[in-house]
Amino acid sequence: MNYPFWEIPFLGSGWVIGIIAIFHVMISQFAVGGGLYLPMAERKAMRMTDPETRAAWLKQLASHSRFFLVVTAVFGTVSGVGIWFAIGLTHPEATSTLIHNFVFGWAMEWVFFLVELATVAVYYYTWDRIDPKLHLKVGWVYGVASAFTLIIINGILAFMLTPGDTWIAVAGTGQEASKFWNAFFNPTYWPSLLLRTCVCCSLAGVWALITSSRIDADKQPALKTSMVQWSVKWLVPSFVAMPFLMIWYYMMVPASQQALLTLGIDTINAGTFSAVTRMALVIIITSATIVGVAYYLAYRNPLDFNLSHAMAVLLLALIATGAGEYSREMLRKPYVIGRWMYSNGVRVPSVARINQEGYLTHSNWVWSGSDSSYSRGEAIFRGECGSCHTMDGYRPMRQLLAGRDRANIGSFVLMLHDYKPDMPYRRFMPPMVGTQQDVNDLSDYLNFQVNPPAAPRVLTAQK
């Protein structure tokens, strides 16, 4: 607990990251997919023999590039900064590990990101102002730069689930950076990269349907038909390849994390749905719905496809993206960095030392004059439990522990501390670390919150 705790009432700090990340992923992956969509569509238009059709396509693409610039360069950039701000406050230990191990990776990503920002602006503002072939080359430069941002970020995100045996072997020795490439090209790197590439292409088509749906079907029926149908086709490759890529990805995930998914599938009749299973079902249902809506409402009836239809597809894509990001986060449980750091920031090798010395012993953020069990328990709760639980909001402790007395709460906390192999929460919860005094302090604090002492009765004299 080397950092002060960032407490977000009711919502929880984790969901602050989640909400920002869902919107950022929708936009950032559109930035990558759109970086391919725009130059490919422009090249297609330049090869058209009919001058009117070519001019109409290029005019529409110029309009789409303005929409693309605003969404990606403005909202994408702001939400990206928001993620850095949120993760730095919510998971400072994990953020520090990622920065120290991938400092050159982040530097490379920022270089490509700056190229993105420059070229997307040049691409939009030079329509009809420079030679068409040069303009197309600018589009391809943007597309390559955006693809490299995905290639780099994917390695870091995949590392958090599967850092790999080579990196784990040197973790904590100060030699982690020497295994940069082993950590980067980790076991789930390639299936994750191909999955994200498919999603990027799909989102390029989904976002393009927004601008294509606004074309006046009465004035430009041919243009709307061709643009809508061209955009729908961007969904096809990913939905064909995605089932196979998800199987490959699943095979690369550690067995302990696979259990979070199979738990819900194996016991489906008993109703034991894990969070990962529920989110997987949401992804399947929304993805199938997107395919149906895109085919029947857009591809087969492009002239009747309007903005409300396109917004419905975008909303479904947002739900699927949110479910996917939530699943990715849950799949790492009980870790934030697989086999190295638990979701509350405690390093796996540090558990024995903390159990001996105490959780608050080396903390600079605990009031030294505080010797009450309540104050110590509150600090322990914030550090060990607060990244996943709130008291009354998301995963509320008062609700989860309702009906338990002090002895029962103490037994529950002790069970988390002992962390035996057959403990039912072991698959997705980190151990409670600390001394027996820490166990008692946390139990006292939770008991006070769940079973607050009754207010003293005030007796009044009767007349």
**Contact assessment for residue 265 and residue 277, using Cβ atoms and an 8 Å cutoff:** yes
Looking at residue 459, its pLDDT comes to 56
Tokens describing residue 167: 């990196």
Residue 270 lies in a domain: no
SS (H, E, C) 141-164: HHHHHHHHHHHHHHHHHHHHHCCC
Boundary-marking domain end, from 200, 231, 252: 252
Q: Which ranges in 234-306 belong to alpha helices (H)?
A: 236-252, 255-266, 275-293
Q: List pLDDT tens digits, range 226-272.
A: 999 999 999 988 888 988 998 899 899 988 887 776 665 544 444 44
Q: Please indicate, yes or no, if residue 308 is contained in any of the structural domains.
A: no
Residue 437 lies in a domain: yes
Is residue 340 in a domain? no
Could you tell me the residue range of the domain that residue 235 belongs to? Answer: 13-252
- For residue 427, being part of any structural domain is answered with yes
Query: Is there a domain that residue 300 lies in?
Result: no
Asked if residue 108 belongs to a domain, the reply is yes
- Does pLDDT of 281 surpass 60? yes
Mapping DSSP to helix (H, G, I), strand (E, B) and coil, where does residue 347 land? strand
Asked whether residue 413 is assigned to any structural domain, the reply reads yes
Prediction pTM value: 0.92
Q: What is the CATH number of the domain that holds 419?
A: 1.10.760
- The domain boundary, picked from 206, 227, 252, lies at 252
Domain closes at, from 252, 274, 293: 252
Contact criterion met (CB below 8 Å) for 377 and 442:
yes
- Interval 37-82: pLDDT, tens: 999 999 999 999 999 999 999 999 999 999 999 999 999 999 999 9
Structure tokens at 103: 């400092």
pLDDT in tens, 170-189: 999 989 989 999 999 999 99
